[in-house]
Structure formats: C-alpha cells, structure tokens
C-alpha cells in the first residue's frame, strides 16, 4: 500500500523523506501541546493519531484506484497542482497553464496543491502526506479549543480526544488533496479563536481571522454556518457570577467584526449558490464544486426543500445512515460501524444532554457548537448523496462531539464543575472553589516550611449554596 499510486508517480525515496520530515516536525508540536495541557498521556495519543493520519494517505489512493476506478475529486486538484508547481517554483504565479479559472473553491485547492508540490515535487503520495498532516494539525486546534473551554477536567478531555483523533471518517476523508483537509485547518483555527474570545483569552480575533481567511476561499457556505454560531455565542451573556465580564464596548466591537465576516461569507456563498424557484436553494452547482469528478461532473443535482420539518430526518441521514441493518458493501459496513459508535456516544451522554441548555449558557463555546451542528445538518443534507454527505460530515463531527463529550461529574458524586449547578447556585460554588484553592495553597506552603505535619487532614465540607455542599480534598479539580 505504501507505493500505491494513481496517475502521478510517487517516488518511494521522496515519500520516505517527506514522512520523516513531517514526523520530526510534529514531535516538538506534540510535546508542546502535552506540556501546555499538563497531560503527558497526550504524547502517546497524538503520536498514534499522527501515524494513522499519515497511513490514511496511501489508503486513500489505494481505495480510489481499486474500488472507484481512479475517479475522485483530487484527480483534478493534483493534476492542476503538478502543472502549477514548476511555475510557482520559478516565482511565476500564473494560473493559465493549468486552466485554473479562479482562486475560490476548486481553484484554491489546486493552488494549494501546486504550492505543496513546488516544495516536495510532483509526487502524489508525498503531497497527500502533507495534506494529511494539515488535517492532523487542525484536529489539535479543535482539541485546544475544547480544553480551553473546559480546563482541568481530564475525564472529558480524554473522551473528546479519543473521539476527535481516532474517528475513521475524520482521518480518511482528510488524508488527500481536498477541501476537507484544508477546511479542517480553517475550522480548527476558527474554533480555537472563538474559544479564546469566549474565554477572554488574548489573540482570539486574530486567530479567528486566519481561519476565516482560509475558509472563505474554500467553502464560504460552511464558514457562514460556523460564524453564525459564533455570533449567537457572542450574544449569550456570561452569568453574573463569573469573575470576568465581557465589557459592553468589546462586545459591540466583537459583534461588528462578526458582522463584517458574516457579510463576506454571505457574499461568497451567494456567488456560488443559485436560488431556485419558491425560495429553495439549487445546489447543483454547489454539488459540482464540492463533489466533482475527474471531468467536473456532479453526482447529485436536485432542488433542496428548505422546510425545517424535515430536520430530524436530515439529522438521521447525516449522522446515522447507514446502520448495520441497511448497509451494503464493505465501505458502507465501515461507515455503519462508525455511525453505531456515534449513536452509542449520544445514548451514553444522556446526563450531558439533560443539562445541555445550562452548559450552553455557562460555556458559550458549547452554544456555538450546538448552533453550528443544527445549521450544518439543515444546510448540508441538501447534497442528497450519501457518499458526499458522509465525506463532508468530517467538518461537522469536531463541533458536534463537543455537545456529548463535555466533562461531567461521575454519577452519584457531588457536582464539581460550575456548569453543572443552576445559575442561582453557581456564584456560591465558585466562591467556595476560590476559598478551597487558597486553603490548599496555604497548606502546601505550610507543608513545605515544616509548619504543618503531613498527617494533617483536609478541611471539612463547606456549604456552597442552598442544599449544596462540596468537599475540599486536594484531589478535587482546581478552580475553572
């Protein structure tokens, strides 16, 4: 499989060199992320995920050549990229030779392929490895957004990490020269930037802008959905018991900035989507752009009904179709297994679902993920082709899984996260956590100076609200 190739040669020597360079460049990034998160187990998790991402690149070529007769979106992209690469290497940035008609949508992917090939050569597998690496870096950004929203909760971190870094579709469909690979990076930057803004961490809007600049050239319609979710999250006012409030001026400035990005996204989206009769959206051209084939054909051409009453049916199609009972063929059975895993995650997260409205207002990033998920299902079910939907679903899952993976105290134990408390009790809970942390710090200092014997027990339980109490053990999670 390592030497599987399509219409373009893949020199084994160049492939090995590129893979080695990617692996070597990734190790410091992996260690930095693990140190930043204070989670040594991330080194092993991220390393295994990186290797799987890289192995998915030759697997993508093998599957397309063996089962789809060499017909795939990336045939056009890497062909045009190989033509552009020599010109780019000579600092001649003309697009005419490769018949690239624009820098938005398909053209941007071909241009990116040309840039990569100008560095690694016209080597199909080596280029795929680079794009697979891009998507791996994008998943790291999604993970950082999640942990920034829910700091110090290792159980939730592990659950989200396993789902994010190892779901087959998010790995396989982003391991080629494709919009999915680039959009994973774009949406990763956007998610990380939004999480920074919503947690009042510096650099949020600049990070968000980088992701939006990438996404507006690839899929402005997806960008429109995610920015709409972020706009809703910005309007969700933090609870009065939180220690830091977002000032009115900053809130207005953020909304104006979001209005600008949304305006650009709307313009780019309307430029590529055509309105049909009765206000419906004709996605024939969008399908051609999103799905294409070697000769630019479309595999789906029907008019989408915008009725919201079909949303639950659309949700079933995007998230769970096929399941094992209606799957046919090896590919569908693999998809059915992943769909079954997602269904199991949702069913097992019944406690998260029960308090989801409370969490969405306590942590606006969850609100953004919820709005994006609802909007994505509504908009992208219009593709009408199960293969295309399954491929593009890779852009939904990193946001969607947040809804069911956010940390929650094990059943039967006292709630130790502020988003688990009702709004009226949250202020007392946070006050207790501040007091507990100060007490633990004082005890640690006393231990270090010898003023307090090691056998001294922890402080007793302290009331944190009406009918609510919390233990003050040193093993409890720190203040969020």
- The pLDDT assigned to 397 comes to 95
What Rg, from alpha-carbon coordinates, does the chain have? 24
For residue 322, say if its preceding peptide bond is cis, omega within 30 degrees of 0: yes
Residue bearing tokens 């996404």 = 215
Domain spans of the chain?
Answer: 12-405, 430-470
CA dist 110 and 126 (Å) reads 15
DSSP secondary structure, 397-455, as one string: HHHHTHHHHS--PPTTS---SGGGS-HHHHHHHHHHHHHHHHHHHHHHHHHHHTSS-TT
Q: Which of 13, 12, 70 is nearest to 3 (CA)?
A: 12
Residue bearing tokens 């929650």 = 408
H/E run at residue 463: strand 462-465
CB 161 within 8 A of CB 143: yes
Q: How many helices (H) and strands (E) does the chain have?
A: 21, 5
CB 366 within 8 A of CB 359: yes
CA dist 234 and 224 (Å) reads 15
CA dist 288 and 266 (Å) reads 19
- The pLDDT assigned to 387 comes to 74
Query: Per residue, what are the HEC states of 190-208?
Result: HHHHHHHHHCCCCCHHHHH
- The pLDDT assigned to 102 comes to 78
Residue bearing tokens 């090691």 = 454
Cα dihedral sign, 444-447-449-451? positive
Tell how strand 468-470 and strand 462-465 pair up.
antiparallel
Eight-class DSSP state of 297: -
Query: Per residue, what are the HEC states of 325-376?
Result: HHCCCHHHHHHHHHHHHHHHHHHHCHHHHHCHHHHHHHCHHHHHHHHHHHHH
- The pLDDT assigned to 89 comes to 92
- The pLDDT assigned to 224 comes to 84
Q: Which of 82, 263, 79, 50 is nearest to 166 (CA)?
A: 50
Tokens of 412: 């039967």
Q: How far is CA 372 from CA 79, 224, 242, 261, 369, in A?
A: 34, 9, 25, 16, 5
Counting beta carbons within 10 angstroms of the beta carbon of residue 211, is it exposed (0 to 12), middle (13 to 18) or buried (19 or more)? buried
What residues contact 444, with CB distance under 8 A and at least 6 apart? none
pTM: 0.81
- The pLDDT assigned to 65 comes to 84
With a cut of 50, which residues of the chain have pLDDT below it?
1-6, 239-246, 273-304, 456, 458-480
- The pLDDT assigned to 453 comes to 61
């Amino acid at each position: 499989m390592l030497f599987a190739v399509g219409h373009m040669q893949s020199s084994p020597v160049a492939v090995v060199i590129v893979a080695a360079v990617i692996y070597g460049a990734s190790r410091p990034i992996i260690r930095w992320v693990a140190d930043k998160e204070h989670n040594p187990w991330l080194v092993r998790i991220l390393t295994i995920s990186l290797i799987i991402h890289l192995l998915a690149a030759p697997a993508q070529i093998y599957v397309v050549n063996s089962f789809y007769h060499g017909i795939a979106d990336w045939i056009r992209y890497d062909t045009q990229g190989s033509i552009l690469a020599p010109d780019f290497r000579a600092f001649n940035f003309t697009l005419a030779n490769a018949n690239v008609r624009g820098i938005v949508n398909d053209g941007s992917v071909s241009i990116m392929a040309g840039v990569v090939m100008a560095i690694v050569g016209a080597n199909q597998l080596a280029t795929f490895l680079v794009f697979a690496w891009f998507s791996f870096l994008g998943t790291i950004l999604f993970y950082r957004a999640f942990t920034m929203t829910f700091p110090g909760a290792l159980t939730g971190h592990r659950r989200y990490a396993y789902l994010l870094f190892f779901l087959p579709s998010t790995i396989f469909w982003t391991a080629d020269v494709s919009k999915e690979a680039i959009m994973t990076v774009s949406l990763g930057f956007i998610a990380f930037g939004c999480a920074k803004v919503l947690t009042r961490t510096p650099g949020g809007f600049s990070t968000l802008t980088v992701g939006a600049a990438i996404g507006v050239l690839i899929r402005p319609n997806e960008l429109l959905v995610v920015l709409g979710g972020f706009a809703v999250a910005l309007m969700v006012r933090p609870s009065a018991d939180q220690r830091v409030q977002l000032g009115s001026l900053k809130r207005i400035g953020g909304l104006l900035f979001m209005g600008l990005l949304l305006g650009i996204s709307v313009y780019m989206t309307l430029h590529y989507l055509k309105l049909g009769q009765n206000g419906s959206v004709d996605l024939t051209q969008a399908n051609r752009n999103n799905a294409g084939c070697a000769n630019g054909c479309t595999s789906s051409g029907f008019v989408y009904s915008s009725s919201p009453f079909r949303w639950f049916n659309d949700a079933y199609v995007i998230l769970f179709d096929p399941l094992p009972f209606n799957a046919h063929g090896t590919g569908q059975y693999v998809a059915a297994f992943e769909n079954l895993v997602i269904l199991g995650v949702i069913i097992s997260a019944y406690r998260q679902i029960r308090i989801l409205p409370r969490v969405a207002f306590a942590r606006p990033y969850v609100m953004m993920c919820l709005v994006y998920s609802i909007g994505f299902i509504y908009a992208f079910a219009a593709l009408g082709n199960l293969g295309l939907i399954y491929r593009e679903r890779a852009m939904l899952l990193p946001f969607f899984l947040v809804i069911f993976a956010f940390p929650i105290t094990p059943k039967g134990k006292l709630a130790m996260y502020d988003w688990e408390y009702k709004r009226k009790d949250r202020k007392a809970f946070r006050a207790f956590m501040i007091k507990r942390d100060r007490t633990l710090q004082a005890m640690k200092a006393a231990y270090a100076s010898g003023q307090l014997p090691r056998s001294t027990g922890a402080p007793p339980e302290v009331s944190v609200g009406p009918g609510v109490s919390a233990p003050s053990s040193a093993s409890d999670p720190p203040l969020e």
